[in-house]
Amino acid sequence: MNSVPSQSARPLPGSTAGTGHAGSSNKLALDYRREAALFPRVSRPIIDAHSHVMGRDAARVYADAARTFGVSLTYSMTPLPLVKPVREVMGESVRFIAIQTWTDPDRNRAHRHGYIDAMETLAREHGSRMMKIWSAPRLRELFPGESGADLVEIDSPWRVKMAQAAEQLGMMIMVHVADPDTWFATKYSDAKIYRTKREQYIGLERMLDRFTCPWIAAHMGGSSEDLDFLDGLLIRHPNLHIDTSATKWVVRELSKHPSSRVVEFFTRWQDRILFGTDIVTSDDHLKPAKDNPAHPKADQASSPESAFDLYASRFWALRAVIGGGYQGSSPIADSDLAMVDPSRFTPDDAPMLRGVNLPGDVLDKVMFANAERVVGGWWREHGGW
C-alpha cells in the first residue's frame, strides 16, 4: 500500500482511498475526481489515441471523465452507424478511426467489402484518416478453417485490400495483433488453431514493410510482457508506433518489469509511444437493465456513477503506472489472474501496480506530443477533420 504522506507533502495518487464508491472498477473506493488532480502535470492537454466511444449518453459520461483527467481530444473506433450521436455530444473533441460494423448481421460482409465501404464513408463524410486492422486470435473463432483463409492472417488477401484502400483514402493504420500472454496460456493454448503468440507477428512485419504509412500497434504492440521483443520490432520498422491501450492488461504487465527497465524503454522510444486507454463505452453501462445483455462488456457498470468510475479507472491506472509513481493494488478487478491461477485468485482480485516517474519531457511526448505529431500531422497532411 502507499505510504501515508506527511502533512506538508503533496498528496499521492491513491490517497483518497475509502472516500469513493467501491466497485469492480474502483476496488479501492477512490474519489476519481479528486485523484485526477494528484498526478504530475503535463504541459498541454492529453490526447487519448485509442478508445471506443459508443452511445449518446455514455459519450457524455466519457467526455466528463476525459475532461476530469485533462484529456482534450479522443481518437475513437466508433462503428459507422454510431458516429453521428457521438459527434453531436463530443463535437471537435473526437476524431474517428474506421472499424468494422460489428452489429452487421452479415459477418462476412462486415469484415470484408462492407468494411472497405465503411472506410470510404468515414473518410468522406466524417474526416477519418486512420483505419484499424483487427487481427486478434479470436478472429479464427469467428471465421474457422477455410471460411477465414482469405481474412484471418494479418497479411491475407482481404487485409491487403484493406491496406490498399487505406492508401487510396489517405489513411494511416492501427493494428491489433496478438493478445495477452495469459490468454495464450489458457483460451488460446491450442496452437494448431490459434498459432503461437510469436507467429502472430510474421504477417505484421511483412505488412509493415509493404505499406510504409505510419502504423500504431495497439496495446503496447500486443507484447507488454516482452519489452525486448518490442525493442526489436521498433528497430526493424521505423514506421511503427505503439500505444498504451488495453489499460488493465498493460498496467499489470508493465508493473512486473523492473522500474528501471520501464523507464529505459519509454525513454528510448519516447517519440514512438502514444497514450491510449481502450475505454469502451455503452449506453448499457448507465442502467441495470441491458438492451444488449450478450455484449461482453455490458455488465461492467449499471449507472451513470459506476460508468464514470469505469471510464475514469482506465485514465487513473495508466497515469498511476506511466508517470504517477504509484505503488499499490490496482483499483480494477482483473479476472485474468484467476484464469491463469484459480487456486490463488478469484475473478474479483486485482494485481499490484508498480508505477514509474518518467522524465517530464518524455511524459509530455507520450501523453500528447506524439499523437499530435504523428496522428494529427497525418490528419492535417491528408485533409482529415
pLDDT tens for 100-136 read 999 999 999 999 999 999 999 999 999 999 999 999 9
Segment 51-68 mean pLDDT:
98
Indicate the pLDDT class of residue 151, thresholds 50, 70 and 90: very high
pLDDT surpassing 90 at residue 13: yes
The reported pLDDT for the residue numbered 296 is 85
The reported pLDDT for the residue numbered 5 is 47
Average pLDDT of every residue of the chain: 96
DSSP codes of every residue in 118-169: HHHHHHHHH---EEEEEE-TTHHHHS-GGGGTTTSSTTSHHHHHHHHHHHHH
| Window from 2-11, 37-46, 171-180, 359-368 with minimum mean pLDDT | 2-11
pLDDT surpassing 90 at residue 189: yes
Indicate the pLDDT class of residue 7, thresholds 50, 70 and 90: very low
pLDDT surpassing 50 at residue 275: yes
List, for residues 224-271, the tens digit of each pLDDT value: 999 999 999 999 999 999 999 999 999 999 999 999 999 999 999 999
Domain 32-381 has CATH 3.20.20.140: yes
pLDDT surpassing 80 at residue 9: no
Indicate the pLDDT class of residue 306, thresholds 50, 70 and 90: very high
| Window from 260-264, 293-297, 300-304, 372-376 with minimum mean pLDDT | 293-297
Segment 14-43 mean pLDDT:
97
The reported pLDDT for the residue numbered 10 is 74
pLDDT surpassing 60 at residue 3: no
19 in Cβ contact with 30 (< 8 Å): yes
56, 82, 86: which is closest to 74 by C-alpha? Answer: 86
Segment 55-79 mean pLDDT:
98
219, 80, 194: which is closest to 143 by C-alpha? Answer: 194
Q: How far apart are CA 182 and CA 188, in angstroms?
A: 9
Segment 127-155 mean pLDDT:
97
For strands 215-217 and 240-243, give the pairing: parallel
- pTM attached to this predicted model: 0.96
Domain ranges of the chain: 32-381
Indicate the pLDDT class of residue 295, thresholds 50, 70 and 90: confident
CA atoms within 13 A on the CB side of 382: 21
The reported pLDDT for the residue numbered 342 is 97
36 in Cβ contact with 350 (< 8 Å): no
Would residue 292 be called left, alpha or beta, if left means φ above 0 and alpha means ψ between -120 and 50 degrees? beta
Residue recorded with cell 483518497 = 16
